Amino acid sequence: MWEGVGLQVFLMSLGAVLVSAAAAASVPLEHGHRRHLSLHRHRERSGKEGQVLHRSKRGWVWNQFFVIEEYTGPDPVLVGRLHSDVDAGDGSCRYILSGEGAGTIFVIDDKTGNIHATKTLDREEQAQYTLTAQAVDRDTNKPLEPPSEFIVKVQDINDNPPEFLHGPYYARVPEMSNVGTSVMQVTATDADDPTYGNSARLVYSILQGQPYFSVEPQTGIIRTALPNMDREARQEYDVVIQAKDMGGHMGGLSGTTEVKITLTDVNDNPPKFPQSVYPMSVSEDKVTGEEVGRLKAKDPDLGENGLVSYRFIEGDGMTVFDITTDTDTREGVIKLKKPVDFETKRAYTLRVEASNIHVDSRFLAWGPYKDTATVKVMVEDADEPPAFIATSYSFEVEENAPNGTVVGRVHAKDTDVAGNPVRYMIPRYTDVEQFFSVGPEDGIIKTTRPLDRETLPWHNISVSATEIGGHHQDTKVRVNIKVKDVNDNAPEFATHYEVLVCENVSPGKLIGTVSAVDKDEMDYRQYFHFSIAPEAVNNQNFSLKDNRDSTASIYVTRRGFSRMTQDVYLLPIEINDNGLPPMSSTNTLTIRVCSCDSKDTILSCNVEPYILPAGLSTGALIAILACIVILLAIVVLFVALRRQKKEPLIVFEEEDIRENIITYDDEGGGEEDTEAFDIATLQNPDGANGFLPRKDIKPELQYPMRPGGRPAANSVDVDDFIKSRITDADNDPTAPPYDSIQIYGYEGRGSIAGSLSSLESVTTDSDLDYDYLQSWGPRFKKLADLYGTKDSADDNS
């Protein structure tokens, strides 16, 4: 059998009270053992030591110990004592404690069985601990008793104040509510044990907000405490609620929260007119539906509670006028239902009633919820100026439109009964430049000159209409004229570009980017197209790439520049706007050659001092260019004339060759006769110095005379002379690349063949028949015609 006693102790402000509680119950024997495990606590009684209660046959059933939370004493708290009836007191029995907090929070004396708490416990963190106790033999470590489980409960003290977890609070209650109307309920929580003592028993009270509101102490329900609280007098109230534990007694902890209470509106106020009579006037020229006047009944209520409707209840103008409600301003708007005539009736009297649309039945006794006022309407005589049909006009006209182009038409009419005609005009101060004119009778607006959108895109003028034959009253209307864009401006460089390039620049390098602007409007998909002007498209220095985003990149296409040769290059660039019609212009990009270091850093772009400055004016440059063009034209003309006069090496034209033949009567001495004439006459005098220039080409190089002997001028060795000529021709570097015929008068020594010279045949009587030349083909047609013609001529003679 296990036996034990449970001891519960708590402290109060009046003193320390010792309370012991034991649960009396009997349990059956375990495994037939008759041993007992008891709990002992020292109790003070009359100054004596506490006595150990022991029963040999029957013990108290124990399963709970108690310990006070937040104990701050210097010594560990004695929780209780374990004792087994098999413990003879000789130290052979050893007590063991295991479970939650064993060894750390709770320790046991293995000899005496006393259990102590070594740390301060907080019930809000853990309310109880489950432990297991066992008695074993100290020497053999064998169990003397089966293990027994018990619970150590942490006894609560009032160490937590009440808290409002959801504050601050906001509440609404209708105005004019009865006393005791529930507003809202506030609830506080206390972390202390609600099952033990009064630590968690809360009581609510109101600290701020009296006498308008009250709170129930036990439930925290806030209620109205005064009747007839008017929102129009005060709309918001700040209430402070307190929750206190320990049942609200002294020493209890407390917490507060704020509650903002707003009174909501109810329809408790009728509409009221500020004045009893409202004078109004209306001109006889007003048309049906035009507004005559407004009046308003004031209602301090909000929302639909303050909505007011207006109606006529009596009067002589109920069929002439109508009244409606402006929902935005809550005003009654009086309008004309029928036209009025000053000569027929000059005044009307109306009775207007204003009433609430929504009435609260709870406050019907406070009624009536309506009010009345008198409206007096006076009719005025009017002679008004002409009125334009539209309040303003807007027209469009294309720029560059010819004079007299119709822009639009304005129309005004005389509203008087007479219906006099209207004359139109444009006040000069609204059109100082006099771009427009208006027809005085028909109101048609026309242009007086071509308009330029880029100069002035909008023209804002006024047209006045004056009644003819009336009081000469006029009225004006605003006319806005937009000048529509026409693509009449060519694009141009956005700024003056001057690109600097190094002398040692590499080919393909980007040296600059250019962009363009256009005074005309451009479509969002429109862009400028760049290209090199046709006159410079074959330049070998620079190239251009169109980026297709209205910009172009300039690249170098050759390697290296020299400032001493040319320091400035002018690159003409053509820009097209792709408009309709397309417009383009040629802009000149200035490219200046500069001196740079190895890192392409520009050092100087100035012209060298020894280069003469070109200080010529534009007129002088034009004159110089004109002279150059004239000189070039003269040179070209001279060369053309020379080419026409130069005879070809081979005759191709159909001409009579006999015109070029010179006939001599002296026949000479024959081939072997070398004494009859001087062979030196056959030599070219220009060749006497060793060089014989060609007449059909211009030599590029002058070669010195080839060393070697030449026959003397008076030499009669014709064979050597001809060989020398052949050698010169073969070795002449200025000779043309095509074959040429060298004609010589020497036919060789001892030739048995007759002479082939045509000169002899023509000058002597010969009976040869040259008809066979006709069958030799087109190559011999010239000879056939020549000799055939000659024979025919002889026959005719």
Measured over the CA atoms of residue 711, residue 712, residue 713 and residue 714, the dihedral's sign is negative
- DSSP assigned state of 663: P
pLDDT of residue 733: 67
d(CA 257, CA 162): 11
pLDDT of residue 776: 78
The 10 Å CB-count burial string (b at 16+, else e) for 267-288 is bbbbbebeeeebebebebbbee
The number of angstroms, rounded, from the C-alpha of 9 to the middle of its chain's C-alpha atoms is 77
Q: Which amino acid is at 284?
A: E
Phi, psi (deg, nearest 5) at residue 685: -60, -25
Let me know how many helices (H) and strands (E) the chain has, helices first.
4, 42
d(CA 75, CA 107): 13
The helix (run of H) or strand (run of E) holding residue 579 is: none
Shortest CA distance to 206 belongs to which of 234, 184, 176?
Answer: 184
Asked if 95 contacts 110 with a C-beta cutoff of 8 angstroms, the reply is: yes
301's CB contacts (< 8 A; 6+ apart) are 232, 265, 266, 267, 268, 269, 356
| Positions of the chain with pLDDT under 70 | 1-63, 416-417, 470, 607-616, 645-717, 733-768, 788-797
- DSSP assigned state of 140: T
- DSSP assigned state of 560: -
Number of residues assigned to the chain: 797
SS3 340: coil
Measured over the CA atoms of residue 185, residue 189, residue 190 and residue 195, the dihedral's sign is positive
The helix (run of H) or strand (run of E) holding residue 182 is: strand 182-185
Would you report the helix, strand and coil content of the chain in percent, each value rounded to 5? 15, 35, 55
Beta bridge partners of 380: 283
Phi, psi (deg, nearest 5) at residue 736: -65, 155
Shortest CA distance to 588 belongs to which of 517, 529, 536, 510?
Answer: 536
d(CA 222, CA 258): 12
pTM, to two decimals: 0.38
Beta bridge partners of 571: 589
SS3 293: strand
- DSSP assigned state of 343: T
d(CA 546, CA 643): 46
Token pair 């070594």 in the structure block, residue:
118
* DSSP code string of 669-716: S-SS--SSS-GGGGS-GGGGGS----SSS--SS-PPPPSS----TT--
Token pair 């000799």 in the structure block, residue:
787
pLDDT of residue 211: 92
SS3 622: helix
* 259 token code pair: 């509650």
pLDDT of residue 237: 94
pLDDT of residue 670: 55
